[in-house]
Amino acid sequence: MSAAPQPEFAVIPGHARRRWKLWAWSGGAVVLAGLWLWAGQANWGTAATHPIALGKAQSGPFQVLVRVDGQVAAAREALLKAPRHVPSLQIVYLAPAGSKVKQGQVVVRFDPTGAEAQLRSQLAALHQAQAAVRQAQAQQEITSHQDAMTLATAREAVAQDKLQVKQEAILSAIQGAEARVALGLTEQQYKVDQASARLDAARGAAQIASLQRKLDKAQYEYNLTARQLSKMTVRAPVSGRVAYRMNMSQGWMNATPFKIGDQVWPGAVIGSIPESRSLGLEGQMNEDDRGQVRVGDAVKARIPALPDRQFNGRLTRISLLTETTYTGNWPPQRKFHAFAQLASRNPRLRSGMNGVMDIVVRRLAHCVHVPAQAVFIYQGKSVVYVPHSGKYQAVPVTILARNPDAVAVSGLASGTMVALARPPAAAIAGGGR
C-alpha cells in the first residue's frame, strides 16, 4: 500500500522572508500616510495641499491700544542715599533686596574706617587749636598785666616830676628848668607806654581772633565728620520693601544693582523703599504713539511674573519732553516717559518687575476683527487670505483700527477662517502676490 501524497509547501529562504516583511511594513506606512493626509485635509479645510494655520474673524467690541513695555515702580518712595563729603565709601552691609524692613531698621552700612581715621586726625587738630587759643589768651593776660604795671610806673613818675616843678619857687632857676625838662620826658614816656599797651592789646586780640577762627574751623570739620560718621549707617526712613538702584559707575552696559563691596560716590542714591499704595507701571513710549494717548486713559497691565492676574489702572503722568534711551542700538532712541497708577493691589507685586501696559486709546462698539498676523498687502491693498477650493482667495479688507494683537476690518463676514501666514504664490487663487 503506497503512502498518501503529502501537500507540498514552498520553503521560503530566510532573506526572502525578511524582504516580504519589509514590503509589508512599507505598505502599512503608505496606508498610514494616506490616513494622515486625509486627516490633515479634514483639519486644515479646503486648502489641504498647502496647510497653513487658520484664525477666525470675530465680531464684537474692539479696543484700540497703544502697548508700552515697562516695569513696576512707585509714584512715591523714600530714597536711601550715601552721605555727602565722605571719601572712600564702600558698602559692607546691605539688607536683602526685596526684604521687608521696619522704620529705623539698618538697611545700608558703609565701611567707617576712613571716616574714623579722619575723625581722629581732626580731633587732634581741634585739641591743638584749643591749646593755641588758651596759650594766646594767657599770654595776652600776662602782657596786659605787664603793660598795666608799666603805665602805673609811668604815671607815678609823671606825678613826681609835677611835684618837683611845683617846688620851682623854692628851687634855683637851674633846678626848676631841669624839673620841667624831666616832666616833659616823663609825660612823653607815659604816652609811649600807653601806645605800647594799646598795640599789645590789639596784637593779642588779633592773634586770639585768628586762632579762634582756626579753632572754629577745626570744630566744624570735626562735627561734620562726626555727623557723617553717624550717617555711615543708613536706616529705613519708612517701613516697606527695599529696592536697590543700578550702579552706573562702570557704564550703563555693565550696570548691576548695588551690592556689598561696591565703591559709592558721595550723595549717590543706593536704593529706595517704595510706598506700596503708590505702585504702578512706568514705561517709555514711542514718539509716534504720544499723539494718540492722554492723561486719564484707561490702562490694562500685565505682569509676566504674575500671569494669573490682570491689573487695571489709569495713565496719570506723561513727560513733557522726550528722554534719550540707550538700549544697545545706535543711534539712541528718544521716547516719552509714561506712568500708570494701578487701581488694584497685590501683595506679590514688587517694584522692578517687568510689565506691559496697554493704553486704551478708543473703543469701537461693534466691528469684525481678525488676528494682526492675518492682514497682508497684496497688489497694493490690504487683504486676508481665505481658504477656498484647495487654494487661498485674497479678500480685500478696509482697516478700521488696529492694536498689537488684532485688526478691525470691514469687508469680511464674521466667522470667516483666515490664514495666519502668507500662503505660497502657487496656493493663491490667481497665481500671484
Higher local confidence (pLDDT), 41 or 270: 270
The per-residue pLDDT for 326 is 65
DSSP 8-state class, residue 4: P
The tally of CA atoms less than 13 A away on the side-chain side of residue 119 is 14
The per-residue pLDDT for 282 is 92
Q: Which grid cell is 269?
A: 542714591
**How many beta carbons lie within 10 A of that of residue 172, not counting itself?**
9
What pLDDT, in 10s, does the model give residues 174-199?
766 776 777 778 778 878 878 888 88
The strands making up 106-110's β-sheet, listed across from edge to edge, are 233-235, 106-110, 89-94, 263-264
Query: What is the average pLDDT across 398-402?
Result: 93
Query: What is the average pLDDT across 37-47?
Result: 42
Residue with cell 572712600: 88
Is residue 36 over pLDDT 70?
A: no
Helix (H) or strand (E) holding 114: helix 113-166
The per-residue pLDDT for 37 is 44
Query: What is the average pLDDT across 369-381?
Result: 91
- E strands along 205-254, which residues? 233-235, 240-241, 243-244, 246-247
Among 43-57, 374-388, 396-410, the range scoring the smallest mean pLDDT is: 43-57
Query: What is the average pLDDT across 314-337?
Result: 80
Among 172-181, 293-302, 394-403, the range scoring the smallest mean pLDDT is: 172-181
CA 376, CA 432: separation in Å to the nearest integer? 13
CA 229, CA 216: separation in Å to the nearest integer? 20
Is residue 47 over pLDDT 60?
A: no
The per-residue pLDDT for 422 is 92
Distance, first Cα to last Cα, the chain: 88
Beta carbons of 325 and 362 less than 8 angstroms apart: no
What pLDDT, in 10s, does the model give residues 214-266?
999 989 988 888 887 888 899 999 888 898 988 888 777 788 899 999 999 88
Higher local confidence (pLDDT), 182 or 370: 370
The per-residue pLDDT for 254 is 83
Higher local confidence (pLDDT), 5 or 214: 214
**Percent of the chain residues past pLDDT 70, beyond the cut:** 83
The per-residue pLDDT for 170 is 62
Q: Which amino acid type is present at position 134? A: R
CA 422, CA 420: separation in Å to the nearest integer? 7
Higher local confidence (pLDDT), 23 or 4: 23
Query: What is the average pLDDT across 158-186?
Result: 71
**How many beta carbons lie within 10 A of that of residue 265, not counting itself?**
11
**How many beta carbons lie within 10 A of that of residue 13, not counting itself?**
8
Higher local confidence (pLDDT), 99 or 86: 99
Beta carbons of 62 and 358 less than 8 angstroms apart: no
pLDDT range class, residue 4, cuts 50, 70, 90: very low
Give the burial string for 313-333 (b: 16+ CB within 10 Å, else e): bebeeeeeebeeeeeeeeeee
Residue with cell 594799646: 198
Residue 412: closest CA among 379, 365, 371: 371
Q: Judging by beta carbons within 10 Å of its beta carbon (0-12, 13-18, 19+), is residue 419 exposed, middle or buried?
A: buried
Mean pLDDT of the chain: 82
Helix (H) or strand (E) holding 410: strand 406-410
CA 134, CA 219: separation in Å to the nearest integer? 15
pLDDT range class, residue 110, cuts 50, 70, 90: very high
Please state the φ and ψ torsions of residue 7, each to the nearest 5 degrees.
-65, 145
Long-range contacts of 328-335 (CB under 8 A, 24+ apart): 328/253, 334/287, 335/284, 335/285, 335/286, 335/287
pLDDT range class, residue 289, cuts 50, 70, 90: confident
Among 149-153, 219-223, 297-301, the range scoring the smallest mean pLDDT is: 149-153
pTM: 0.56
The per-residue pLDDT for 231 is 80
| DSSP characters over 326-353 | -SS-SSPEEEEEEEEEESS--TT--TT-
Alpha helices in 279-422 (DSSP H): 287-290
Higher local confidence (pLDDT), 228 or 136: 136
pLDDT range class, residue 267, cuts 50, 70, 90: confident
The tally of CA atoms less than 13 A away on the side-chain side of residue 309 is 14
Q: Which grid cell is 139?
A: 599770654
The per-residue pLDDT for 327 is 60
Is residue 165 over pLDDT 80?
A: no
pLDDT range class, residue 345, cuts 50, 70, 90: confident
Domains of the chain: 113-230 (1.10.287.620)
Residue 271: closest CA among 259, 280, 282, 287: 259
CA 275, CA 77: separation in Å to the nearest integer? 5
The per-residue pLDDT for 428 is 85
Is residue 45 over pLDDT 80?
A: no
The tally of CA atoms less than 13 A away on the side-chain side of residue 298 is 9
Query: What is the average pLDDT across 372-398?
Result: 91
